[in-house]
Chain A
Amino acid sequence: MPPAIETTDLVKEYGDLRALQELSLTVEEGEFFGLLGPNGAGKTTFINTLVGLVRKTAGEAAVFGYDVETEYQQARDAIGLAPQEFNVDRFFPIREVLIHKAGYHGIPEAEAADRADEVLKRVGIYDKRNERFDWLSGGMKRRLLLARALVTDPDLLILDEPTAGVDVQLRHDLWELVTELNEEGTTVLLTTHYIEEAERLCDRVGIMNEGRKVTVATPEELKTRGTDTISVRLETPLSSSATADLETGLGAYARELSSNGNRLEVRVDDGGSTAPQLLSDLETAGYEIADLEISRTSLEEIFVDLTRSEDRTVTRSSASSGEDGSATSSTRGEDERERGRSRDEADRNTEREREGVA
């Protein structure tokens, strides 16, 4: 069976800007794959290349073995997309929007109507089935995007930041639903800014930055790539000369060492396996240990490290202070969403103004 997604040296250029740079990525059938990266990393460009909204400049891209350009009909038939933007037909009640979408995928009208009802119930907005999209709340709009992606019963479900700007309850509902779908056999590709989301849901995570693949690994593997901090409280305070001596003595495994009074902090690759050695070395050096604590690197910190570049100002402390993800990325994301909302509103106003044009 071919992979759900397979790209080889995929390139997308917008004039001088290279949005995707020789991106090679494989997502296996049945996998729950997370795509992480800061704004502008190329995640949405990558997705849009798969569904036909962006034409690649070079390279290969296939969905379940079907080339996305030469065999576009088969490729697109396999995909259900819930995009970031609210790109929903405004002329019809949402139930009809879903019936139309299912129809485009070759599902006869009666069956399409049944499916529309089913997915509306599944995402919890069946009561709103006769409303038009513009009159739904933000959370309901997100639910509808998911329903539209599901109404064609896709083998590959692509979710482009599905929980951006939604409340905690809805986020958990969506997580539960997509987990269920994945367990039923649907391959899921999820892009998100929320590290917790990727860590909680994904079998594997791909990290992108500036159009390139930085790494692909399981969340657990990624965590092992970071450094841990072993914090030791000693019975007696450390002098600066003693700290310098320790730095030399522990140099074999300590990446960084600092002290403050009787508190010693040592940064190591793997806190769990290094702690006994550190204790032994400290005791040998004549120190009595009162307490020890290991802080493990979060996936979020690793993500920030991996995607840090010269022109970024993201720091660990600022990233850690963010509620939902890397602070800088989240802030940028909010800005973009805000701009999106403003544009959406402007569009709607224009649409009303232009009703006479139709």
Chain B
Amino acid sequence: MHSKTHDKTPVFHISRRTGLPWQKALGIRFAGIVLALVVCGFITMAATGLNPISVYGTMIEGNFGTSRRIWMLLQNMSILLCISLALAPAFRMSFWNLGGDGQALMGALGAASCMILVGDRVPGGVLILLMVLASIACGMLWALIPAFFKANFGTNETLFTLMMNYVATQLVAYFIIRWEVPKGSGKIGIINQSSKAGWFPMIGGNKYLLNVLIVAVVTILVYVYMRYSKQGYELSVVGESEPTARYVGIKINHVVIRTMLLSGALCGVAGLLLVGGTDHTLTTTIIGGRGFTGVMVAWLARFNPIVMVATTFLLVFLQGGSSEITTIFGLNQSFGDIITGIILFFILGCDFFLNYKITRSKTGKEAA
């Protein structure tokens, strides 16, 4: 037998929280952001000798400084949110779709191919309709392939969707060479620059407003779908417990394929909005890794489409802000990434405090 060993008594311990009021939860999140800003401030001062307040000011300036910047912020938010909304149902179903990039890129390819191949031969309205159909079909196809193999052969969807991204990039690279303008440039350039065929109409002279409105509608639709529809309920059950799904007669393979078709279709829409709405060109990097950023957006919001608007804003704001500070202060690109990393670390760290609390042991004091 051991002798008395009071020193082993833990000083504090961690226990699970139950029923945290939302005000307090919000407070913890807010405290997390404040703490993140303070820590970032110290690191900024230590590493660069700059005044953190002016650095933060520049980040805000970079996002909200001019109306053009605000529109850029909104446009970037729309595309990222659209892809995140596409991923949310798949993730809720516990189908780890890391192929958002590829699916959106295929959507972009679909839209661009219509503009290039039939652009001048059909009326504007018909062309846009064709673009919509083509981009959705391409996105769906790219999601269907891994879903089919997962449903029928139990393949690992994480790897499969990830690899499909590279295939999509190569495919787009091939078509860019085929359709390059001018020959030998290796680029497509602005498609239908003179005829503007297949360019989405501007609303009130504003290039970005239509995209913003479309994604706003998609957000509401996805929210309603996930929360109130039978299909949304089915995919949640499949994601939580496949045996339970089978128990109530939900056909899992069917749900997997259906949900991935939806996921791919929405990614396709994101590609469409980029090509038809704003960029009017096609490059292999047009999606810009949003298929992966979208994973973060969706997870941070716990797949709630309305909360995803806020998480999208956060990530786009940080991205815009950090690129602004690197230009204004002549800092290395990595510095923006460091700040983004710290802020995300604190926001994710909040989850620990939302789920657990730390209490000092009473035993410790008594025994000492």
Q: Do A and B come from one complex?
A: no
Which residues of B come within 8 Å of A, CB atoms?
none
Chain A contacts to B: CB under 8 angstroms: none
